[in-house]
Structure 1
Amino acid sequence: MKSTSLILLFIVSFLFVTSHGLSEIESLLKFKKSLVIGRASALESWDRKNPPCKWIGVLCDKEYVWGLRLENIELSGSLNIEALMGLKSLRSLSFMNNKFRGPFPEFKKLGALKSIYLSNNQFDIKIPNDAFDGMGWLKKIYLEQNKFSGEIPMSMAKLPKLLELRLDGNRFTGQIPEFIHKPHMLNLSNNALAGPIPNILSTMDQTMFEGNQGLCGEPLEIKCYSPYNLSSEPKASSKTKSSKVLYIVAAVVASVLAILIILGLIIVLCRRRRNKQPLLSPEPGPSSLQKRAGIQESDKGQSSCHSHRAAKRMIHTTKLSFLRDDKGKFELQDLLKASAEILGSGCFGASYKTVLSNGSIMVVKRFKHMNNAGFEEFQEQITRIGRLNHDNLLPIVAYYYKKEEKLFVCDFIEKGSLAAHLHGHKSSGYPSLDWPTRLNIVKGVARGLLYLQKNLPSLMAPHGHLKSSNVLLSEKFDPIMTDYGLIPMINEESAQELMVAYKSPEYLKQSRVTNKTDVWGLGVLILEILTGKVPESFSQSDKESEADMANWVKSNFKGEWSKELFDQEMGKTNNCEAEILKLLKIGLSCCEVDVEKRLDIREVVEMLEDLTKEREGDDDFYSTYASEADGRSSRGVSSEGINLS
């Protein structure tokens, strides 16, 4: 009897899991039918042969679909929200940078949603007033850069957990509704809103309300007038009018006198500064960031009085934009006055280590190839990057935007870069890296790349600039990647000249970047870590660039351990030669010139995770190398390489 019950329980569980999986597949395929797909191959992975979690743009956690991120693939048609009701774990929808229009999607049928992203589409309708009723978990709504009209829905303002709201670049009219609480981020700029700004929003940045001619009140410097003050009044007597004129004349005279007095004082102060000692305390010494980096530095031909005024005006009219809340806030002025030490000058600009007055150590990176990035484009991409959270990515703490000046502020990582440990440890005093540490670094970088690919699906190469100098090492020698997600913000000419992604075989030969370009960069990094060679030393005049490192390894690899091939600074390998050889083969498969035969990042991560789990039978595996290298398979590398199937 007991065994019968167990069998029944197993059958019921199996049927539940099966029906759950089928229901998600059916829901997604039904939703797909409502879409008009501009790129024929964009959703070709949405097929019953594959589980939903393998489909492009489908985000999963433990095989449950929690999000759809279908961005920048020219989708149009209608969004059949009802079809998605079968996805019980669905929490996030993103359809940014597509061509959707028509009626507003019925998101309220998905009451558990936490985020909605519809930015940069072609919606040109009014949003129903009850469009967000019952969505008690909704935290983020991004509707900017459409043509939405009518009033802002009251149901939106009543959302209890709303944190981020972007409605800028639309055609909303009427008054701003009374929000039940103040969102952390709100942008209503460039609409046709009118009337007073609610008090709860009066402390927000005034740029969030600009471009609405009819708005008044704080934080705008436009006073609101009551309609009662505009009603008709009895005509004032001529005596009253004349007295008003006298008051106006007196006020003008007093203002002119005050201005003359102030100008006189300024002239006296400037003369005293030139002829005597300065009245103000001197600026920080040459160790300050402002002096070392030349940020907003005044022309040398200006007088000291004018220079001081210009610097002071710059400090008080600019501020940092923070992407993280777990760091203590500081101002741009604090950075400019802080002691600074140059860490290095890369292809994008110099990096400076600064020590703030509270003891915090930060790194300020100054970018000089972003001048073509418009504010909206820049802010959209930097906000996406700011939402990323992974142990192997260095988060951006804050940024400063100006057309001719972009600064990123990050935490300082004490151990320095992987490049310094691999190639400069003797001069820098860093210890050499042993084999377990190198393997751990490769695994961490691969995990970080997989995370980037999942969370920045609109970018073909979400890192785009992977190299050893852009991998920092934490206190425990875990890898932390920097300079990721920059391709949309870097000037196109500069990106093609400087960024690693544009040195890949597919770009050099076919002028294209693919979703496996970062895998090629990872392969080069693996070979660099194992051989200790500098990839740039293999560059040739025929512009084969880093790909030549893979050719060098292939020509010198005979299928067995070789002291000439591997970096002797790894020290004792403790009988791990088989693992090292297997990692080398993974690296070569990542460097496959034919993109179709190159591993994808998910496969790389899985192979790396299994690397230390399969020690038995390794001798048999590697002994087959010689015979496998002569043949080819759909998973193998080039004819000179290794077959991993």
Structure 2
Amino acid sequence: MAFTSVILRKLSSFLSILLILFSSTFAVTETDALLKFKNSLTNASPLKSSWVPNSLPCNGQKTWTGIVCYGGSVSGLRFGGMGLSGTIDIDALLELRGLRTIGIANNNFSDTLPQFNRIGALRAMYLSGNQFSGVIPPDYFAKMDSLKKIWISNNNLEGEIPPSVFQLSHLLELHLENNKFSGKILSFNQPTLRSLNLSHNQLVGKIPDTLSKFNSTSFSGNAGLCGEKLSKACPPESPPPDPEDTKKDSIKTIAAVVTLALMLLSVAIILIIRWRRKKNKGSDDFNVLENESNNNSNRAADVSVQILPASQKVETTEFKRKNSSSRKGSHTGKGGGGIPELIMLDDSKGVFRLPDLMKAAAEVLGNGSLGSSYKAVMANGFAVVVKRMREMNALGKDCFDAEIKKIRSLKHTNIITPLAYHYRKDEKLMIYEHIAKGSLLFVLHGDRGESHAQVNWPSRLKIVKGIAKGLGYIHSELATLGAPHGNLKSSNILLTQENEPLLTDFGFSPMINPRDNPATSAPIFAYKSPEAAHLGRITPKCDVYCLGLVILEILTGKFPSQYGKGGTDIIEWVQTSIAEGRGLEILDPEIEVQKKSAGQIEKLIIIGAACAESNPDIRPELGEAISRIEEVQVEGPHQKSIEVFPSLRDGCPYVNS
């Protein structure tokens, strides 16, 4: 027995030595491969400090610059914005057996697209913002079935989109915008595809019906494209002309062109005349209500708006009048005038009446789930937002007054409450101070200009913390409500110039008529959470779900499909990425990830995913979520990448350190 024990111990030691030697050999191979890759680059100075021979690319906290590790080996290259150029050595990259992601966006690489297709196990290619040119071979993607994300936007690529890209069965994201691709878009139906952008190329023909789930911005900037998505009819396909009729057809064509030109000229003249009349008319239509007041009529103004995102503000004087039974009274509620009363809740910004609002020039802001809204600038220059609510009919006037005054009594840095309101049985007006920067929805998705560029990682963390604080305050003050906020989403979060978030449209649930199926018909967003959708359960954790979704929206920069207007199912997408160890890959490309901030960003991603869990029983309580959020800092100590991503069954899990 003793002899056997000695033999077993020696055998165990021998096997350990073999494993160490094997591991060292594999690590050296990765080191040599990466150094060979670096030697093919020009201006590789950003890599010199950590890319040292005889060191390990993946060594706990001391990973090489731009290297992503998983399980102790290289899984990704992240070289975005480093000013790199030169020839990419594909043979060297083939030695990285665990390589799954290549990120070289916003560098100076040129020539034709490198043969990344030789790396068959790749899952993501981020090649945008370089100077790649030429034609991509038709079969380029034929052997890349694992590929999920292709970002080759903002290059100089031309020719047809390779047919092999439409055969990728796991494709999630395809971004080819701002190139010179030509030809038709092939019809393809990939249910996995969530994000598509083919805009600003030279594509022609009809947009395939299989791509109807994507909005028009995915195809804009292609003059030759047509279809219902672009509100541009496609010409009917006709057989080739009969040679004998060529001369007749030419004459007919000339006549048709002349006729069409005359018609277009007539239409243009009519439009110019109407435009001048409308311009001269100005904002006189806003005097409708005031004039009717002077004539003691019982009519009120009705704003006619269209559904517009906050990014597409347009001026309008398109007011309709409708008969309605109005309460007589002044703005103080003491009678006279023929105008329904306007109740002032805060006169610190000045006192105004309903006719004052109607005299102001209006600017449409959009049409939300509770009704339409527009901006009005008073004669003294003070701007307000008027929200016209049609869904708040559950309470009589006395109870409605009490609820609104309760909301107005709340005071916190991260909330905004009404300045005034108007009650009518079938319609309510809520008046708020106008916040110039607009909503978080607009800043994230409206345009990619200056307002978006200012929202870097520190700003986004500040916004998340402010939202959490405001939501926590609302929950403490309106604790008797099932979902104290009830309508938390990015369109109901305003941002000051200092990126301080202000929550609005909260506490309205008692005023909304109850519905048999809250998830499908209730206008407030918390009622669409999974537990409300399936069980009709409305609890404070509905707000926690909404908070998680907003956090993920802020970090990914994606528009959530949960809002019901297209977009990406970011909850499923983020949780899948976490489970696969690709947490940081889901970030908005505008966020610059530094080493000291990577671990903190990962923490916040996990908190958001945990709060957005479909099962409310394993969602954290709001207080716990707020505590976790407060622990996240702009920068922190270097941490290992997350080694194990739980299925989030334990609430907000900690990052392994």
TM-score after normalising by structure 2: 0.48
Q: Which has the higher contact order (CA 8 A, sep 6+)?
A: 2
